[in-house]
């Protein structure tokens, strides 16, 4: 069971890293006014992630699977992140996405 939890944590962390690249590319793109196909692909990926979270009642499916292999109450039981970041991850990245949306609107209408 521990091996399965470790594999889930590795996969979850890798997906988190990929989404960090996506989000920070999007932020970079709107700051330098590079409204290109990669920005829109980023939006598509974020929307897809949002739909998945809605379907699973705001839990990552990997968290639900990992729960079968752990009874930990820590926020980072299913991912290799500091506990504080795992706890506030959605709040932090939601605010960054709101900024990206505002900047995108500003760049598109200017």
pLDDT, average across residues 31-60? 97
**pTM score of the predicted model:** 0.92
Residue 1 pLDDT greater than 80, yes or no: no
CA 7 to chain centre: 18
CA 55 to chain centre: 15
Structural domain for 69, as ranges: 2-109
pLDDT, average across residues 46-62? 96
CB 81 within 8 A of CB 74: no
Name which of 51, 42, 36, 35 is nearest 103 in CA terms: 35
Domains in the chain, number: 1
Residue 75 DSSP label = T
In terms of phi and psi (left: phi > 0; alpha: psi -120 to 50; beta: otherwise), the region of 57 is left
CA 106 to chain centre: 24
pLDDT, average across residues 62-87? 96
Across the chain, what does the average pLDDT equal?
A: 96
pLDDT band at 14 (very low <50, low <70, confident <90, very high): very high
| Angle between helix 2-31 and 83-109 (nearest 10) | 30
Name which of 80, 60, 73, 74 is nearest 13 in CA terms: 80
């Amino acid at each position: 069971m521990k091996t399965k939890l470790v594999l889930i944590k590795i996969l979850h962390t890798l997906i988190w890293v990929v989404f960090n690249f996506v989000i920070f590319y999007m932020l970079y793109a709107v700051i330098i006014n590079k409204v290109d196909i990669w920005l829109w692909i980023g939006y598509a990926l974020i929307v897809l992630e949002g739909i998945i979270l809605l379907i699973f009642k705001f839990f990552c499916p990997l968290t639900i699977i990992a729960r079968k292999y752990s009874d930990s109450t820590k926020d980072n039981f299913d991912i290799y992140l500091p506990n504080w970041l795992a706890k506030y991850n959605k709040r932090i990245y939601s605010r960054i996405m709101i900024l990206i949306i505002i900047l995108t609107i500003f760049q598109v209408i200017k």
